[in-house]
Amino acid sequence: MTGPSDDGTVPGPAPRRSGDEAVADAESRALESGSRERNVPTGDDLPLPADTANLREGADLHPGLLGLLPMVGVWRGEGEGHDLLTGDDYHFSQQIVVSHDGQNFLNWESRSWVIDDDGNFVGPDLRETGFWRIGDDDTIELLLAHAEGSIELFYGNPLNQTSWELATDVVIKAESGAHTAGAKRLYGLVPDGDLAYVEERIDTDGDLTPRLSAKLRRHVG
Protein backbone atom coordinates (compact mmCIF):
# COMPACT_ATOMS: atom_id res chain seq x y z
CA MET A 1 0.00 0.00 0.00
CA THR A 2 1.36 3.45 -0.94
CA GLY A 3 1.16 6.28 1.63
CA PRO A 4 0.40 9.96 1.04
CA SER A 5 2.88 11.99 -0.99
CA ASP A 6 4.61 15.12 0.33
CA ASP A 7 1.69 17.30 -0.75
CA GLY A 8 -0.80 15.14 1.13
CA THR A 9 -2.38 13.50 -1.87
CA VAL A 10 -2.81 9.75 -2.03
CA PRO A 11 -1.83 8.21 -5.35
CA GLY A 12 -4.20 5.76 -6.97
CA PRO A 13 -3.49 2.06 -7.29
CA ALA A 14 -0.69 0.97 -9.58
CA PRO A 15 -1.89 -0.07 -13.02
CA ARG A 16 -2.55 -3.78 -13.31
CA ARG A 17 0.12 -5.59 -15.30
CA SER A 18 -0.32 -8.62 -17.49
CA GLY A 19 1.05 -11.98 -16.46
CA ASP A 20 3.58 -11.81 -19.30
CA GLU A 21 4.91 -8.51 -17.99
CA ALA A 22 5.27 -9.88 -14.48
CA VAL A 23 7.16 -12.93 -15.77
CA ALA A 24 9.42 -10.74 -17.90
CA ASP A 25 10.22 -8.51 -14.90
CA ALA A 26 11.00 -11.53 -12.73
CA GLU A 27 13.29 -12.92 -15.44
CA SER A 28 15.11 -9.58 -15.66
CA ARG A 29 15.65 -9.41 -11.89
CA ALA A 30 16.89 -13.02 -11.87
CA LEU A 31 19.46 -12.25 -14.56
CA GLU A 32 20.70 -9.17 -12.67
CA SER A 33 21.04 -10.99 -9.32
CA GLY A 34 22.41 -14.26 -10.66
CA SER A 35 19.61 -16.22 -8.98
CA ARG A 36 18.46 -17.63 -12.32
CA GLU A 37 21.10 -20.37 -12.20
CA ARG A 38 20.50 -21.29 -8.55
CA ASN A 39 18.06 -23.68 -6.90
CA VAL A 40 17.27 -24.73 -3.34
CA PRO A 41 20.45 -23.98 -1.30
CA THR A 42 22.15 -26.76 0.63
CA GLY A 43 23.06 -24.46 3.51
CA ASP A 44 26.81 -24.79 2.98
CA ASP A 45 27.10 -21.02 2.67
CA LEU A 46 25.44 -20.31 6.02
CA PRO A 47 27.36 -19.59 9.28
CA LEU A 48 25.68 -22.62 10.87
CA PRO A 49 26.55 -26.31 11.09
CA ALA A 50 25.12 -28.18 8.11
CA ASP A 51 22.50 -30.86 8.66
CA THR A 52 23.90 -34.37 8.57
CA ALA A 53 22.19 -37.75 8.40
CA ASN A 54 25.51 -39.56 8.85
CA LEU A 55 26.84 -39.81 12.39
CA ARG A 56 30.38 -40.16 11.01
CA GLU A 57 30.23 -36.71 9.44
CA GLY A 58 29.36 -33.19 10.50
CA ALA A 59 28.45 -31.98 13.97
CA ASP A 60 28.46 -34.30 16.97
CA LEU A 61 25.05 -35.57 18.00
CA HIS A 62 23.71 -33.66 21.01
CA PRO A 63 23.98 -35.81 24.19
CA GLY A 64 20.28 -35.27 24.84
CA LEU A 65 19.42 -37.23 21.69
CA LEU A 66 21.27 -40.46 22.43
CA GLY A 67 17.94 -42.22 22.95
CA LEU A 68 17.09 -41.55 19.29
CA LEU A 69 20.55 -42.14 17.84
CA PRO A 70 19.62 -45.32 15.88
CA MET A 71 17.06 -43.38 13.83
CA VAL A 72 19.56 -40.92 12.32
CA GLY A 73 20.02 -41.65 8.62
CA VAL A 74 18.26 -41.70 5.28
CA TRP A 75 15.78 -44.57 4.95
CA ARG A 76 14.10 -45.87 1.80
CA GLY A 77 11.66 -48.69 1.24
CA GLU A 78 8.08 -49.72 0.58
CA GLY A 79 4.91 -50.08 2.60
CA GLU A 80 1.17 -50.59 2.64
CA GLY A 81 -1.41 -47.84 3.05
CA HIS A 82 -5.13 -47.78 3.78
CA ASP A 83 -7.14 -44.71 2.77
CA LEU A 84 -9.52 -44.03 5.65
CA LEU A 85 -11.92 -42.03 3.48
CA THR A 86 -12.25 -44.39 0.50
CA GLY A 87 -11.39 -47.65 2.24
CA ASP A 88 -8.90 -48.48 -0.51
CA ASP A 89 -5.61 -50.26 0.17
CA TYR A 90 -2.50 -49.32 -1.81
CA HIS A 91 1.27 -49.78 -2.04
CA PHE A 92 3.71 -46.93 -1.57
CA SER A 93 7.42 -46.16 -1.61
CA GLN A 94 8.91 -43.80 0.94
CA GLN A 95 12.00 -41.86 1.88
CA ILE A 96 12.58 -40.60 5.42
CA VAL A 97 15.49 -38.28 6.23
CA VAL A 98 16.42 -38.03 9.91
CA SER A 99 19.22 -35.50 10.38
CA HIS A 100 20.69 -33.13 12.95
CA ASP A 101 22.99 -30.10 13.19
CA GLY A 102 24.32 -30.63 16.73
CA GLN A 103 21.37 -28.95 18.45
CA ASN A 104 19.02 -30.79 20.78
CA PHE A 105 16.51 -31.96 18.19
CA LEU A 106 16.33 -34.19 15.12
CA ASN A 107 15.05 -32.93 11.79
CA TRP A 108 12.45 -35.19 10.17
CA GLU A 109 11.35 -35.17 6.54
CA SER A 110 9.20 -37.88 4.98
CA ARG A 111 7.93 -38.19 1.41
CA SER A 112 5.95 -41.09 -0.05
CA TRP A 113 4.47 -41.92 -3.42
CA VAL A 114 1.93 -44.47 -4.60
CA ILE A 115 3.24 -47.40 -6.65
CA ASP A 116 1.53 -50.20 -8.54
CA ASP A 117 2.00 -53.95 -7.99
CA ASP A 118 5.14 -53.86 -10.12
CA GLY A 119 6.70 -50.99 -8.18
CA ASN A 120 6.04 -48.37 -10.84
CA PHE A 121 5.32 -44.77 -9.87
CA VAL A 122 1.61 -43.89 -9.86
CA GLY A 123 1.51 -40.51 -8.11
CA PRO A 124 2.52 -38.55 -4.98
CA ASP A 125 1.12 -39.62 -1.62
CA LEU A 126 2.02 -38.06 1.74
CA ARG A 127 4.57 -35.47 2.83
CA GLU A 128 5.45 -34.37 6.36
CA THR A 129 8.22 -32.46 8.07
CA GLY A 130 9.02 -31.80 11.70
CA PHE A 131 11.25 -32.30 14.71
CA TRP A 132 11.95 -34.98 17.34
CA ARG A 133 12.88 -33.91 20.85
CA ILE A 134 13.44 -35.70 24.17
CA GLY A 135 12.42 -34.16 27.49
CA ASP A 136 14.36 -34.41 30.75
CA ASP A 137 12.11 -37.31 31.81
CA ASP A 138 12.81 -39.22 28.54
CA THR A 139 9.41 -38.23 27.11
CA ILE A 140 9.63 -38.06 23.34
CA GLU A 141 8.05 -35.11 21.53
CA LEU A 142 7.36 -35.27 17.79
CA LEU A 143 6.00 -32.14 16.12
CA LEU A 144 4.81 -32.71 12.53
CA ALA A 145 3.40 -30.52 9.79
CA HIS A 146 1.58 -32.32 6.97
CA ALA A 147 1.27 -31.03 3.41
CA GLU A 148 -2.34 -32.26 3.44
CA GLY A 149 -3.18 -29.42 5.82
CA SER A 150 -2.65 -30.40 9.46
CA ILE A 151 -0.24 -30.09 12.37
CA GLU A 152 0.23 -32.79 15.01
CA LEU A 153 2.01 -33.07 18.34
CA PHE A 154 2.90 -36.60 19.43
CA TYR A 155 4.15 -37.64 22.86
CA GLY A 156 5.69 -41.00 23.60
CA ASN A 157 8.40 -43.06 25.22
CA PRO A 158 11.16 -45.43 24.18
CA LEU A 159 10.14 -49.06 24.61
CA ASN A 160 13.80 -50.09 24.53
CA GLN A 161 17.00 -48.85 22.88
CA THR A 162 15.68 -49.39 19.34
CA SER A 163 11.91 -48.88 19.46
CA TRP A 164 9.67 -45.92 20.21
CA GLU A 165 5.91 -45.58 20.69
CA LEU A 166 3.98 -42.32 20.32
CA ALA A 167 0.42 -41.02 20.29
CA THR A 168 -1.04 -37.66 19.28
CA ASP A 169 -1.87 -35.14 21.98
CA VAL A 170 -2.92 -32.31 19.65
CA VAL A 171 -4.19 -32.39 16.05
CA ILE A 172 -4.98 -29.12 14.24
CA LYS A 173 -6.52 -29.20 10.76
CA ALA A 174 -6.54 -26.27 8.37
CA GLU A 175 -9.94 -25.30 6.99
CA SER A 176 -8.92 -26.57 3.56
CA GLY A 177 -7.07 -29.61 4.91
CA ALA A 178 -7.98 -33.25 4.43
CA HIS A 179 -9.89 -35.05 7.18
CA THR A 180 -7.61 -36.24 9.96
CA ALA A 181 -7.85 -37.32 13.59
CA GLY A 182 -5.69 -38.74 16.36
CA ALA A 183 -3.06 -41.39 15.68
CA LYS A 184 -0.58 -43.79 17.22
CA ARG A 185 2.81 -44.67 15.77
CA LEU A 186 5.33 -47.38 16.61
CA TYR A 187 8.86 -47.21 15.19
CA GLY A 188 11.58 -49.79 15.64
CA LEU A 189 14.75 -51.26 14.22
CA VAL A 190 14.17 -54.90 13.30
CA PRO A 191 16.89 -57.60 13.56
CA ASP A 192 18.20 -57.01 10.03
CA GLY A 193 18.79 -53.31 10.82
CA ASP A 194 15.87 -51.95 8.82
CA LEU A 195 13.53 -49.30 10.22
CA ALA A 196 9.94 -50.53 10.44
CA TYR A 197 6.87 -48.65 11.59
CA VAL A 198 3.10 -48.85 11.82
CA GLU A 199 0.57 -46.05 12.14
CA GLU A 200 -2.99 -46.41 13.38
CA ARG A 201 -5.35 -43.46 12.95
CA ILE A 202 -8.90 -42.73 14.07
CA ASP A 203 -11.29 -43.12 11.14
CA THR A 204 -14.55 -41.30 10.42
CA ASP A 205 -16.42 -43.74 12.69
CA GLY A 206 -14.13 -42.97 15.62
CA ASP A 207 -12.29 -46.31 15.50
CA LEU A 208 -8.52 -46.67 15.63
CA THR A 209 -7.68 -48.25 12.26
CA PRO A 210 -4.43 -49.37 10.59
CA ARG A 211 -3.35 -46.54 8.26
CA LEU A 212 0.29 -47.08 7.26
CA SER A 213 3.05 -49.65 7.66
CA ALA A 214 6.47 -49.84 6.03
CA LYS A 215 9.93 -51.38 6.24
CA LEU A 216 12.77 -49.09 5.18
CA ARG A 217 16.42 -49.89 4.53
CA ARG A 218 19.22 -47.54 5.57
CA HIS A 219 20.38 -45.62 2.50
CA VAL A 220 22.70 -43.14 4.24
CA GLY A 221 24.41 -43.38 7.61
Q: For residue 147, is it within any domain?
A: yes
Q: For residue 109, is it within any domain?
A: yes
189-220, pLDDT tens digit by residue?
999 999 999 999 999 899 999 999 999 999 99
Q: List the domain range (segments joined by +) for residue 88.
A: 63-220
Q: Tell me, what's the pLDDT at 111?
A: 98
Q: For residue 116, is it within any domain?
A: yes
Q: For residue 181, is it within any domain?
A: yes
Q: Tell me, what's the pLDDT at 124?
A: 98
Q: For residue 195, is it within any domain?
A: yes
Q: For residue 1, is it within any domain?
A: no
Q: How many domains does the chain have?
A: 1
Contacts of 188 (CB under 8 A, 6+ apart): 159, 162, 163, 164, 195, 196, 197
Q: Tell me, what's the pLDDT at 178?
A: 87
Contact 47, 100 (CB under 8 A): no
CATH number of the domain bearing residue 211 = 2.40.128.20
Q: For residue 155, is it within any domain?
A: yes
Please state, for a pLDDT cut of 90, what percent of the chain lies above it: 74
Give pLDDT < 70 ranges for the chain: 1-17, 19, 22-27, 30-31, 33-35, 42-43
Q: Tell me, what's the pLDDT at 177?
A: 92
Q: For residue 21, is it within any domain?
A: no
pTM of the model: 0.84
